[in-house]
Structure 1
Amino acid sequence: MPRSKTIYDVATLAGVSISTVSLALNAPTRVSTETRRKVLEAVDALGFVPKPEAVARARRGVGRVGVIAPYTSYPSVARRLNGILHAGSQHEQEIVLFDQESAAQTTSPLLSSLPITGRLDGLIVVSLPLDEAAARRLTDLRLPTVLIDTHYSGFDSVSTSDSTGGRLVAEHLVARGHHRFSFLGETQQSLLYVSPAQQRLAGYRAALSEAGYPLSENNVRFTAHGIGPAFEAARHLLSIEQHPTAIFASSDTLAAGALKAAHDLGLAVPGGVAIVGFDDGELAEALNLTTVRQPLEESGRAAMERLLQQLDQPGTVREVALGLELILRGTS
């Protein structure tokens, strides 16, 4: 049976004295940030188990925050991450990234398997919905957590009103004189939660109905994330005889696919069909795409600031709401 690791092993691996290890764990302000980091890395590597309160004190000195997000799949999420990283660097936070392939699932598999006990001070979950099991695990671990672009009772969150974004688009297209409308969103793997795309559709549909233009289910399409799948879905919509004259896509990526389909069919944009996206990233600017601008970097910064507040003074749950803006360009 292997022997348990001791403070002597930690000191040897970290290249410091035993007294320095003790100071780093019990009086972290009395050692440098770099020394604390070395000691904690040695603690993690060896699986050394000091008193929990000692690790907590030391980790507060280092500041290790986990971020779970589908940032390699969605440009908008990558921009939120930029805001998190910027805010974290200003407060000497170490950011540990965990990539989730898709936001279209009920919850992130990472949340049920991530070895977060004792290794993170806090967690930011970006554009990934929680289910009951994941929420319970985070609560049981007493891990301070902030959600971005999603909500769950009892958790801090930073978000925008997706339904308001849908309303902005509908009101704009109605004002432009359109009468035949459609919606293009990302297919979900589960309907156990209400996704941002569904909320955008709900706001869009409600505003159209109030204006006297009920949205037909035949003109609502859900497809996989990506320009290619969106191209196929939009091409089908635009190939019928009485095709929609306006398409609202729930992301700029899907809107790019719709724009490609319109060009492929020889439809003028916006004369033959108007197209509006959501996010306002570099893609929208490059395509001269009308879109709904989200405060993406700002949401990342706000989430990090809120998490730091939680770490310093745990207290009341807060939901931070940020505004949206319709950006008018050449596709509508």
Structure 2
Amino acid sequence: MSRATIYDVAERAGVSISTVSLALNAPSKVRPATLGRIMTAVDELGFVPRAEAASRARKRVGRIGVMAPFTTYPTFARRLEGVLEAVEGLDFEVVVYDEVSAAAAAPVLAGLPLTRRLDGLIVMSLPLVGEVADRLRSRGLPTVLVELARADFSSVEIDDAAGGRLVARRLVDAGHTRFGFVGEVQASAEFASQCKERLGGFRAGLGEAGLKLPDEGVRLVEHSVEAAAQAAGELLASGQPPTAVFAHDDCLAAGVLRAARERGLRVPGDLAVVGFDDGDFAEALDLTTVRQPFRESGRLAAQILLDRIREPDRPIQHTRLELSYVSRATA
């Protein structure tokens, strides 16, 4: 059977040859639906561009990919620093793929251009739906996940639910009995987002103390300071306003602080506010938060990936990093 050509891919996907070429070389310039059709055709036909076919004679191409929502969540830059630290001095370059928010992507990674020359891939906080996981496995591309876990892929993760319980215990110990939560809305039901896990852990921790977070105390919004401020304002204007609010991350916590300031509330005297991540927002705002080791997670993910590239038959490896509660001025 003859090797599939770019003409075969174009015919199967119902697009022009130039569109296939654009999808392979500059996927961000192709509509997501069209890109998905092209990549499906590439997979079904087993198409390999000539440049890549020639490169396969070599053991490695010296390139790893890192995919994450970098522009949506600036904290991922810290993870990338850890990746770069791990490959420093090695014969590898890092290719960055910027994705949209995991909360809004449906399906995430469906258009990943696997025909580009990569030795391995790190996927940060972007869920792998079944068809994408199947693509990665069928192509034999070593892949490591960060801040999410699947049994069939190596991963570096944190326990988001445990982080929520940690916040609950600290706020209960401080004497609070009325609580609120501001988180990021999740568009896809195919996975449990970090927000959902943190909220679940927070509720569980309150329950262990005989307290509860009512449904009306939860606000899920788009990921922005403005949206969080509006949602927190609604919570604070209720008949029984919370005395403590836990935000899914530091960005949303900044919105809660804005809402408190606009209403003349003293923080933490009238309202305690806790975030999650310990990113740049937290330090600038003197925000109490849950710290996760960003740089270390990137470094470990890269080390695991490099080991798997060198030894493809290595067992799947799952690493869980510890969280810590950072007390500052807001709680």
- Establish whether residue 280 from structure 1 lines up as the match of residue 283 from structure 2: no
Quick one: which of 169, 177, 180 aligns to 1:179? Answer: 177
SS of match in other structure, 1:279? coil
Match of 1:77 in 2: 76
Identity between Structure 1 and Structure 2 (%): 48
Q: Which has the larger radius of gyration?
A: 1
Superimposed CA distance per residue, residues 65-124 of structure 1 (whole angstroms, 9 cap, x where no aligned partner): 011110111022121111112212242321111101212135564x32232236100000
The verdict on how the C-alpha distance between 1:50 and 1:247 changes in structure 2, with shifts beyond 3 A counting, is closer
TM-score under structure 1 length normalisation: 0.82
Superimposed CA distance per residue, residues 208-241 of structure 1 (whole angstroms, 9 cap, x where no aligned partner): 0110111101101100001011011111111112
Distance, in Å, in 1 between the alignment partners of 2:89 and 2:51 is: 30
Match of 2:37 in 1: none
Aligned CA-pair RMSD: 1.6
Q: Assess if the C-alpha contact under 8 Å between 1:290 and 1:331 holds in 2.
A: yes
Unaligned runs of 5+ in 2: 6-48
Match of 1:190 in 2: 188
Quick one: which of 209, 224, 227 aligns to 2:222? Answer: 224
Letter in 2 for 1:123: L
Greater helix share, structure number: 1
SS of match in other structure, 1:283? helix
- Establish whether residue 54 from structure 1 lines up as the match of residue 57 from structure 2: yes
Distance, in Å, in 2 between the alignment partners of 1:297 and 1:90 is: 18
Shift in Å at residue 312 of structure 1?
A: 1.1
Q: Within 5 Å, which residues of 2 pair with 1:58-137?
A: 60=60, 62-105=61-104, 109=108, 111-117=109-115, 119-137=117-135
Match of 1:330 in 2: 329
Match of 1:310 in 2: 308
Q: Assess if the C-alpha contact under 8 Å between 2:52 and 2:117 holds in 1.
A: no
Match of 2:243 in 1: 245
Shift in Å at residue 290 of structure 1?
A: 0.2
Distance, in Å, in 2 between the alignment partners of 1:157 and 1:103 is: 17
Quick one: which of 196, 199, 202 aligns to 1:201? Answer: 199
Q: State which drifts further: 190-199 or 299-308.
A: 190-199
Distance, in Å, in 2 between the alignment partners of 1:75 and 1:90 is: 26
Unaligned runs of 5+ in 1: 5-45
SS of match in other structure, 1:113? coil
SS of match in other structure, 1:67? strand
Shift in Å at residue 51 of structure 1?
A: 5.6
**Alignment size in residue pairs:** 283
Distance, in Å, in 2 between the alignment partners of 1:146 and 1:78 is: 17
Distance, in Å, in 2 between the alignment partners of 1:214 and 1:114 is: 42
